[in-house]
């Protein structure tokens, strides 16, 4: 199979960023990104809905050359040899029987592929969700694929390291491709390998069974969660002995502020499906310990009831808004009738209301606003709560932000910021609430 066209269904980080890199590294390959018309309109506008460093440069260079954004599913699917599925099953943690996985969107997208495909295709599942998603894709392909059409399915999980996700894709330590152990499955894997080999050394691309590839991401997340939990548990001991916890994190290879609740919920779900409740309970307890910081953060912001607050970094370093620590902060502030201005260039207000599970009432219209401009977000507020290092904003002034705010002009950061002293000099009442804070382990 010669790859001339690739389409990516969905604009989540898992998949769509890979598509951007392919467009930049393989100018002869046509890359089409598909999503709902409203989402696509944003990607075709002058204000690109991406905050990761370097991504905007790629899009402006490649857009309308060999990178296209549209909602014409039928034409794109028919023309593509490779199809990335860049959506995820929705994890529900409040179910009577534990964690559940909603696969409706995955099923609908797969049916679109089988309905429109008029030649052989390779479908690549890019999300970080468990093997049940792959099972759903495979079952739909098997039942709905037209006679004479062959659709092979691959698993290709993402592994974003600390720093820019784009760096992880341009210079990955390892690329995992999972395939069925059939001649056509192995051939499909070789086709995807041939694309990655345009910029990734062959020895860094590993082909394995589909089941192994689909779970390896969760296993990695489990090990990371264990390490994070240990760091948090040792925080008080480290403080008593004057150990810089940031240095400790660096020593054990755990830099950054990753949020992996979604991956851990997936692991709990897999364990429950395999009917091993003890293992599910164990990993749930590990996940619960990850939320210590969020609980402490909520205790800290209780005095903000009724205040006007700006929130930055609601998506963390990915597009997983549902997993964001800032989401719980938003929920609590709104429940206490605080006025909340969320700053996120990618997020729409309707989308945030859905994530928060709130109706768009007259009261919520007064309390909740979403801004793409950081100055509009802070104007008239008295407190900034930030999970951002502000890398997504190319040109801004903390001094101007300070001037637009009302007293007491408090800046509460969930990250260790290199600009902390600068913020204090400007006049902010600065509080750091990163992972090495004593309040984590009360």
DSSP string, 281-331: HHHHHHHHHHTHHHHHHHHHTGGGTT-EEEEE-TTTTSS-GGG-HHHHHHH
Residue pointed to by tokens 């495979």:
138
Q: What domain range is 108 assigned to?
A: 5-210
| Mean pLDDT value of segment 169-187 | 92
Q: Are 193 and 111 members of one domain?
A: yes
Q: Is the per-residue pLDDT at 80 higher than 90?
A: yes
CATH of the domain at 302: 3.40.50.720
DSSP string, 86-135: ---PEEEEEETTEEEEE-HHHHHHHHHHHHH--S-EEEEE-SS--HHHHH
pLDDT tens, 102-156? 778 889 999 999 999 999 999 999 865 556 778 888 899 999 988 999 999 999 9
Total domains in the fold of the chain: 3
Q: Are 173 and 241 members of one domain?
A: no
Residue at a domain's end among 291, 323, 349 = 291
pLDDT tens, 350-364? 888 888 888 888 888
Q: Are 204 and 63 members of one domain?
A: yes
Q: Are 141 and 34 members of one domain?
A: yes
Higher pLDDT, 422 or 254: 422
Q: Which tokens go with 383? A: 């407190």
Helix (H) or strand (E) holding 178: strand 175-179
Positive or negative, the Cα torsion across 204, 205, 206, 211?
Answer: positive
Q: Are 175 and 239 members of one domain?
A: no
Q: How far apart are CA 337 and CA 174, in angstroms?
A: 47
Q: Are 268 and 359 members of one domain?
A: no
pLDDT of residue 98: 53
pLDDT band at residue 100 under the 50/70/90 scheme? low
- Mean pLDDT score of the chain, rounded to an integer? 81
Q: Are 194 and 178 members of one domain?
A: yes
Residue at a domain's end among 291, 322, 341 = 291
Q: Are 157 and 175 members of one domain?
A: yes
Q: How far apart are CA 237 and CA 223, in angstroms?
A: 22
What distance lies between CA 88 and its chain's CA centroid? 10
Q: How far apart are CA 327 and CA 329, in angstroms?
A: 5
Phi-psi region of 52 (alpha: psi -120 to 50; beta: other; left: phi over 0): beta
Residue at a domain's end among 291, 309, 331 = 291
């Amino acid at each position: 199979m010669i790859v001339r066209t690739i389409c990516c269904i969905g604009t989540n980080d898992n998949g769509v960023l890979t598509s951007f890199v392919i467009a930049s590294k393989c100018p002869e390959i046509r890359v089409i990104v598909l999503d709902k018309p409203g989402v696509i309109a944003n990607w075709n506008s002058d204000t690109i809905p991406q905050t990761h460093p370097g991504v905007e440069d790629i899009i402006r260079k490649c857009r309308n050359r060999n990178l296209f954004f549209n909602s014409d599913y039928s034409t794109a699917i028919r023309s593509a040899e490779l199809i990335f599925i860049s959506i995820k099953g929705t994890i529900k943690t409040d179910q009577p029987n534990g964690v559940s996985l909603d696969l409706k969107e995955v099923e609908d997208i797969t049916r679109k592929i089988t309905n429109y495909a008029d030649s052989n295709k390779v479908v690549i599942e890019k999300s970080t969700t468990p093997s049940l998603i792959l099972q759903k894709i495979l079952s739909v392909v098997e039942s709905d694929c037209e006679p004479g059409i062959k659709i092979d399915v691959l698993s290709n999980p993402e592994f974003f390291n600390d720093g820019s996700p784009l760096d992880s894709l341009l210079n990955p330590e390892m690329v995992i491709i999972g395939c069925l152990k059939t001649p056509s499955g192995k051939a499909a894997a070789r086709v995807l390998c041939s694309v990655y080999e345009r910029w990734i050394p062959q020895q860094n691309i590993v082909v394995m069974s589909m089941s192994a590839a689909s779970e390896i991401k969760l296993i990695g997340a489990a090990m990371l969660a264990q390490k994070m939990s240990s760091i948090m548990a040792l925080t008080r001991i480290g403080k008593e002995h004057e150990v810089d916890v940031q240095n400790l994190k660096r020593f054990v290879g755990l830099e950054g502020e990753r949020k992996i609740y979604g991956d851990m919920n997936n692991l709990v779900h897999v364990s429950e499906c395999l009917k091993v409740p003890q293992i599910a309970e164990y990993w749930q307890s590990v996940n619960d310990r990850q939320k210590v910081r969020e609980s402490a953060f909520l205790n800290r912001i209780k005095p903000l009831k009724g205040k006007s607050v700006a929130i930055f970094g609601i998506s963390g370093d990915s597009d997983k808004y549902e997993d964001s620590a800032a989401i719980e902060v938003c929920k609590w502030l709104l429940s206490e009738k605080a006025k909340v201005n969320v700053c996120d260039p990618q997020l729409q207000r309707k989308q945030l209301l859905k994530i928060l599970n709130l109706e768009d009432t007259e009261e919520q219209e007064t309390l909740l606003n979403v801004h793409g401009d950081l100055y509009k977000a802070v104007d008239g507020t008295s407190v900034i709560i930030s999970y951002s290092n502000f890398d997504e904003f190319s040109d801004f002034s903390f001094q101007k932000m300070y001037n637009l705010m009302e007293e007491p002009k408090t800046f509460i950061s969930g990250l260790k910021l290199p600009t902390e002293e600068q913020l204090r000099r400007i006049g902010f009442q600065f509080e750091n609430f990163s992972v090495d804070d004593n309040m984590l382990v009360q």
